[in-house]
Structure 1
Amino acid sequence: MYTLLNRFTLLASFAFSAFCLQASDKKPSGLMTDLVEHTGRTWQNGFASNLPVWQIDEAIEPLQYAAIRSTHPAFSWIVPGESQGTRQTAYRLIVADNREDAISGKGNLWDSGEVESGQSVAVRYAGKALEPGKPYFWRVKTVTNTEGESEWSEVKAFRTASRLSGYETAYYPQVKTMEFPAGIKKINPGTYLVDFGRDAFGQLVLTLASDGRQDSVIVHLGECLEGGRILRDPGKSTIRYHRYPLALLKGTNTYRIKIGKDKRNTGPAAVLMPEYIGEVLPFRYCEIEGYEAVLSPAAIVRETVHYPFDETASSFRCSNDTLNQIWELCKYSVRATSFLGVYV
């Protein structure tokens, strides 16, 4: 465990060293707890909430958050400084059990004092063991060889899980992104083929109209086309296909397609979806059969499921289009499979 952790810390240190040269603030930024970034945020059933993590007890409905599971978590930050060759020579880190003390620069749980060290990744908390299910607050200031002592960083909040151990990987909630079709094609009278452009694990929400004479449609979800239609029988391959009958109510209504259970999703080796997300299905194409009204792109939404992912955190472009496509494929694959615990 510790050998693996040390190796990961070493790799992360190299990555953070590159970021240090790009930081332009006068104070440390990019604060992470146990290598998790969005610890101050909350989510409601996959969508980001406006309520900060320290106010989670005020919510009536259940909220999700990035749960820290360690009694002694590790802290990381990006060292400020624009000058070439800037490196950290010391830091001071404080941890408090209330936001007011942290804002005032008082670490009522732990104050590291000024530590002469270049370490800015995975600095372990050395105070009294944290308690489960509580919010905590921390901030850091640094000293560099080029700019001296920095300002305090912004206060970063985190909340512990309901069960803690000496060291355990933090739990990141799964989130949803609403995606609209890349294209819609009417392939037959009353039949639409919808293409979302890329495959993704997700769910489907439809807004359909009925005059009362049209009482149902058939919704097909799949990953592959054959003869211009969704492949209905992929056999024993890994390609997915599902068929869902949908009874329509008179008027315009919004429907959520309930994804059915699949043995590949519920077996011993499967990554089970939490209740607040529900079952998901990998699909790129949607075929709506038996729908006579006009289908607009705004009427069909795929809610893709993944971990919080910053699309702007990395970029790549070169004169070789094949390399550009490989880059996009790899980057998108990380996002699309992140909630399964698959990391590239």
Structure 2
Amino acid sequence: MMIRVSHNQTLQAQKHRRSGILGNTLEARKKRFGLLFALPAFLFFGAFYLYPLFQTFYVSLFSWGLLDEPRFLGFTNYTRLFFDKEFINSVWVSFFYAFGVVVPIWGIALGLALIFNQSFPGRQAYLTTYYIPAVISLTVWSLIWLLMYNPTFGLFSIMLRSFGITGVRMLDDPSTAMLAMIILSIWKGTPVYMVIFIAGLRAIPIDYYEAAQIDGARAWQRFLYITLPLLRPVFLYVMVISIIEAFKVFTPMYLLTNGGPGSATRVLSMFIFQNGFQFLRMGYASAASVIFLLILLTLAILQFRLLRFQQSEG
């Protein structure tokens, strides 16, 4: 009896061992095939993201004018940047532009999402019409606004003349040029984030609103205590993406003002472009690019920390 029991146990152990070996082999094959299918993405990321990143840092350590031999400087370019008034001004202009764009976008996009999340006649037509700026190329959009800002026949000039205001040249005046860029960008970016907010609103269970309404909660109370808390992850996602996109702006400034008048609209991307391709100071522009990346990484990390803190509080 003892021999028979032990023999059965041995057979079961062998079966378990075989199934374990087969399972491990199958898992190993799955991993190999997974890595094989992911390899093109890894190669693409390495070739077009990691390599340019390391190459940019490498070039930032040199004085290189494209037409002459690179000369090693170490971290001299970075030291010069911190004492460069134009660079410091570009950082300030970038922050001013970014938060001048994203803060209104957050409020307008959320307000429009609350409106379009309701059912009313012609809702889909209005939503489609308002989303059109989001699908227009930024270059085309910028050129359209260049015509609208024209001091002679532009839409804004015509509107101002109807109120008796003449001689306004928004793109030529340092006090209004950045405002013109901000208005252009808000109109362009709001529909994208509006759709994201609408998706977040539709993910909130309707039962919460019905229960709150039965308990006598008013519309503003339902918004404050149900909508905003449950929309918090979506809102923080919009914050991260919109701030990064705002800091990366280049096309409107390049086409409409070329960073001017003076340096009123010279954001960091314009500063890097002008130093690298107009003044042929690639090492200096690369150092500014590295600092630009560090600024974006810092902002993203701070917002993700905020997201984790909010989730732990929730």
Q: Which has the higher helix share?
A: 2
TM bin, normalised by shorter chain, reads: under 0.3
Q: Which has the higher strand share?
A: 1
TM-score (norm 1): 0.20
TM-score (norm 2): 0.21
Task: Point out which structure has higher relative CO (alpha carbons under 8 A, 6+ apart).
Answer: 2
Pick the structure with greater CA Rg: 2
